[in-house]
Copies of this chain bind each other. A is one copy, B any other.
Amino acid sequence: WGDHPKRRFVVNDWGSYEFTVSPLAIRKFEQKFGYCMKSEDFVNAGLYNNSYKVPSPQYRDWIDFINEFVTAFGHRCVDLIHARGKKAFVFYNDHWIGLEPWGDRFKDIGLDGIIDGVFSGFETRKVAGTKDVKVRELRLHPYLFPTGVNGAPSFLEGGNPTLECKTYWIDIRRALLREPVDRIGFGGYLHLVCNHPDFVDYIQRLAQEFRMLRSLHDGDLPYTADLKVAILTAWGQLRAWGCCGHFNRGNYYNEVMESVSGLPVHVSFISFEDILQGGIPADTSVIINAGTVDDAWSGGECWANPRIIEAISEFVNGGGGFIGVGEPSALRHGSQYFQLAHLLGVDREIGLTRAFNRFQFDIAVKPHFVLRDLQSEPDFGVEVGNTYVLDEETQVLKARGRSPIITTRDFGRGRTVYLSGHKYTPDNVRLLHRAIFFAARAEEQFGAWLPTNPNTEAAYYPRHGKLVISNSTPDPQATEVMVPGGASVHVELEAYGSEIVEFNRAV
């Protein structure tokens, strides 16, 4: 369409409201909110209001305004469809602004179902967790297009659609073990699969596996530790299990969210506004804050509010856990860069205080609960670097040169963990899994239904008495799975495979 071939896309953000601006909308907005949106409210010095930006109060109002309009207008459309005896589905993918499926008004539209084309676990949870629709559908990849939507030569010479599908499926599967969807599908040109009988065979097996997984959730819930993780961002629930599109590799928040999407813990998404309005929910065990300075995921300017610092400090002091990843609570504000440095015991040198000498830490020599399953030295992909510890009360578990990369610290009755980065890998999933239980002071709950081999994961459905063990790697794996009470079962898994172990009676 005339774009430069080296830059076909300019902005790729599914949650950006830039396209909803019109003179009429601006006038109607002013009638409702009593003030007029200015160009700069949208342009934002050229950064616009993409999902990585902390939303301004004005932008939140605008989202609310458009959401109200789309809900009312969408409801009228759905009514017309229903009046003709048809069902109304929506594609929760490239652009769904105004719908806000995780918002309060979504139920008022009256949609029958929601469909999303997904590659990963966090997207699966986004669909699975959407309330108030009868049908949640995943559209799998590769699309039946010659070239995949991510540029892979899926059905072209050199493509391997079966392997491609498998690599997405293993990530989707671990999320489906936690929370089900109602159906799966494909989109595109069916004739493309003719020359790929292995793909057709694989999809048949995948569909059987999907139906089996879905059936496990019938009248049952997977065993989940009594442990609630709250992921704290500037967006909170409105962008739960969302980023700005598909998996944004290298983004700490997205990598953490992907890892968490398959863990046996309860997960919620909270915003700074939630904390200001109602405090930290009483059932929260561990808060995770992951991101880079100034972005919506770490929270940016929200960290300048002392009431936030007080609330989280009080929470941890009272026994709560806090896990910071990358640049948690980072803001150029006051004498701490990490505004929660007093909890984490770690801060980051950003170049203004290089003249300050830093505490010369030693690496903890005693084996630590958090590190126990690491198969090699930690690899977080990009680490933030230039971290330092405040004093000897920070326990440094791993460091890169003079920068600590895994630390823990007690604060009052609570615990904090700092990770200088995160990348979705089996080792790091297990590390984060352990960090969550450690921060929650719930180590004794950790062993239940845990596979000893971190390349495998397990989910137990107590009413069915069924244990699913899955292998997220391209190699065969063997593992023991710890059964509560002290026993264990041995399981052999083929590459990308899963197995079910049945227990005669619910354990």
Residues of B within 8 A of A350 (CB): 292-294
Q: Are B359 and A7 in touch, CB under 8 angstroms? A: yes
Q: Are A6 and B360 in touch, CB under 8 angstroms? A: yes
Q: Restricting to A259-275, which residues have a CB under 8 Å from any CB of B?
A: none
Residue of chain B at shortest CB distance from A357: B9
Residues of B within 8 A of A11 (CB): 355-357
Instruction: List 26 A–B pairs whose Cβ atoms lie within 8 Å, in order of A's numbering.
Output: A4-B391, A6-B359, A6-B360, A6-B361, A6-B392, A7-B359, A46-B335, A46-B336, A47-B335, A50-B352, A50-B353, A50-B354, A50-B355, A50-B356, A52-B351, A52-B354, A52-B355, A244-B354, A244-B355, A248-B354, A251-B354, A291-B351, A293-B350, A293-B351, A294-B350, A295-B351
For the complex of A and B, 8 pairs with smallest distance between CB atoms: A46-B335, A13-B355, A292-B351, A9-B357, A50-B355, A6-B360, A295-B351, A244-B355
Residues of B within 8 A of A351 (CB): 52, 251, 291-295
**Interface size class for chain A?**
35 or more
Q: How far is the CB of A353 from chain B (nearest CB, A)?
A: 6
13 further A-B contacts with Cβ under 8 Å, apart from A46-B336, A293-B350, are A6-B392, A7-B360, A8-B357, A11-B357, A12-B355, A45-B334, A45-B335, A50-B355, A244-B355, A248-B354, A291-B351, A292-B351, A294-B332
A407 within 8 A of B: no
A495 within 8 A of B: no
State which of B8, B10, B352 has its C-beta within 8 Å of the C-beta of A53: B352
A52 CA / B355 CA spacing, docked (Å): 8
A6-B360, A359-B4, A385-B382 known; A46 vs B354 contact (CB < 8 Å): no
A7-B357, A335-B45 known; A295 vs B52 contact (CB < 8 Å): no
A392 CA / B6 CA spacing, docked (Å): 9
Residues of B within 8 A of A355 (CB): 11-13, 16, 50-52, 244-245
Residue of chain B at shortest CB distance from A3: B357
Q: Restricting to A32-55, which residues have a CB under 8 Å from any CB of B?
A: 45-47, 50-53
Residue of chain B at shortest CB distance from A48: B353
Q: How far is the CB of A270 from chain B (nearest CB, A)?
A: 21
Residues of B within 8 A of A53 (CB): 352
A87 within 8 A of B: no
Residue of chain B at shortest CB distance from A295: B351
Binding site for B on A (CB under 8 A): 4, 6-13, 16, 45-47, 50-53, 244-245, 248, 251, 291-295, 332-336, 350-361, 382, 385, 391-392
A359-B6, A361-B6 known; A352 vs B47 contact (CB < 8 Å): yes
Residues of B within 8 A of A6 (CB): 359-361, 392
Question: So how many copies of this chain end up in the complex?
Answer: 2
Q: Are B353 and A47 in touch, CB under 8 angstroms? A: yes
A336 CA / B47 CA spacing, docked (Å): 9
Residue of chain B at shortest CB distance from A359: B7
Q: Are B334 and A46 in touch, CB under 8 angstroms? A: yes
Residues of B within 8 A of A4 (CB): 359, 391-392
A6 CA / B6 CA spacing, docked (Å): 52
A131 CA / B260 CA spacing, docked (Å): 63
Residue of chain B at shortest CB distance from A385: B382
A336 CA / B46 CA spacing, docked (Å): 8
Residue of chain B at shortest CB distance from A354: B52
Q: How far is the CB of A178 from chain B (nearest CB, A)?
A: 27
Residues of B within 8 A of A10 (CB): 356-357
Residues of B within 8 A of A51 (CB): 355
Residues of B within 8 A of A245 (CB): 355
Q: How far is the CB of A382 from chain B (nearest CB, A)?
A: 7
A46 CA / B332 CA spacing, docked (Å): 12
A487 CA / B393 CA spacing, docked (Å): 66
Residues of B within 8 A of A248 (CB): 354
Q: How far is the CB of A229 from chain B (nearest CB, A)?
A: 23
Q: How far is the CB of A17 from chain B (nearest CB, A)?
A: 13
State which of B334, B336, B358 has its C-beta within 8 Å of the C-beta of A7: B358
Residues of B within 8 A of A335 (CB): 45-47
A360 CA / B5 CA spacing, docked (Å): 9
Residue of chain B at shortest CB distance from A44: B335
A45-B334, A47-B335, A352-B53 known; A357 vs B294 contact (CB < 8 Å): no
Q: How far is the CB of A118 from chain B (nearest CB, A)?
A: 18
Residues of B within 8 A of A391 (CB): 4, 7
Residue of chain B at shortest CB distance from A248: B354
Residue of chain B at shortest CB distance from A14: B355
Q: How far is the CB of A272 from chain B (nearest CB, A)?
A: 17
Residues of B within 8 A of A356 (CB): 10-12, 50
